[in-house]
Amino acid sequence: MNRRSVVLVLLVVVAACKPKERPVAATAPGSGSATTTTGDQVAAFWTWFGANAAALHGDEPEQAMNKITDELVKVDRGVIAEIALDGDTRTLVVSADGKRDSFPAVEKIVAAKPAAPIAGWKVVAFRQRSNGELPVLESDGTKISLASTRFVATPAGDKLDLTVFVPGPGMDDDTRAQFGFLVLDHTIGEYDMETRIAGIDFAPIEKAPAAAKPIAELPAMVDALKK
């Protein structure tokens, strides 16, 4: 499915994912991760970004995100851009959008970022955990609070199987899963989401059992798997 923009209020403009197994984002002709990510491709991206950083900083976040993604997919078709807002600072989040095959490309791109700071910008690899106050997700007029999301976890070796109970009246299954994946990415981070979570199911918040835990408790459970 095509990327659709979702606003993480007070924090970030993000790209949504499809339920269950995340597909390759339809951000460019063709699909799947590029076979190789060359140093020349990565260097060309950073040359372009450096030349356009000031103009991109002045764009609306969604517009800038789309422009940057159009360049990133030339390096690897699975890599997308997201933009976090913090006052006058823009953080470029280079994301694999949950596609493990594109993780090496993300790491290679971010490792090659210019040594000198780019005015008005920071650069990070993968969607990061939302520390502190849990924000609100908004898409097409629908808002949900991360703090209201609940989950049930079952051990699966060194991973967890999850059922995530997503608030939001009238959501169809597709939208609920899109929100659910975003909640997980921004609660435990994209990297841990893909390496520490096994099976995932999404359900309406009304079906949450009494034993379901607030989503804020999930990071500690994930971190315990690493010990």
pLDDT at 21: 36
pLDDT tens-place string over residues 44-87: 999 999 999 999 999 999 899 999 999 999 999 999 999 988 88
pTM for the whole thing?
0.77
Q: 170 to each of 4, 132, 137, 142, 166, how far by Cα in Å?
A: 19, 29, 16, 10, 11
**Per-residue confidence at 18, pLDDT binned at 50, 70, 90?**
very low
Which residues on adjacent β-strands are paired with residue 79? none
pLDDT at 122: 96
Q: Can you point out the beta strands (E) in the chain? A: 5-9, 12-15, 80-86, 89-95, 121-125, 136-139, 142-145, 150-156, 159-166, 197-204, 213-214
Domains and CATH numbers, the chain: 5-125 (no CATH), 143-222 (3.30.70)
Is 12's pLDDT higher than 50?
no
Is 174's pLDDT higher than 70?
yes
Instruction: List the end-to-end C-alpha distance of the chain, in Å, as a whole number.
Output: 37
pLDDT at 139: 57
- The CB density around residue 36, as the number of other CB atoms within 10 Å, is 8
pLDDT at 137: 66
Which helix H or strand E contains 106, and what residues bound it? Answer: helix 103-111
Q: 105 to each of 12, 24, 33, 34, 44, how far by Cα in Å?
A: 22, 14, 9, 9, 14
pLDDT tens-place string over residues 179-189: 888 889 889 99
pLDDT tens-place string over residues 113-171: 999 999 999 999 999 887 766 667 665 666 767 778 999 999 999 999 999 999 887 88
Average pLDDT of the residues of the chain: 82
pLDDT at 89: 93
**Beta carbons of 67 and 48 less than 8 angstroms apart:** no
Tell me the pairing of strands 89-95 and 80-86: antiparallel
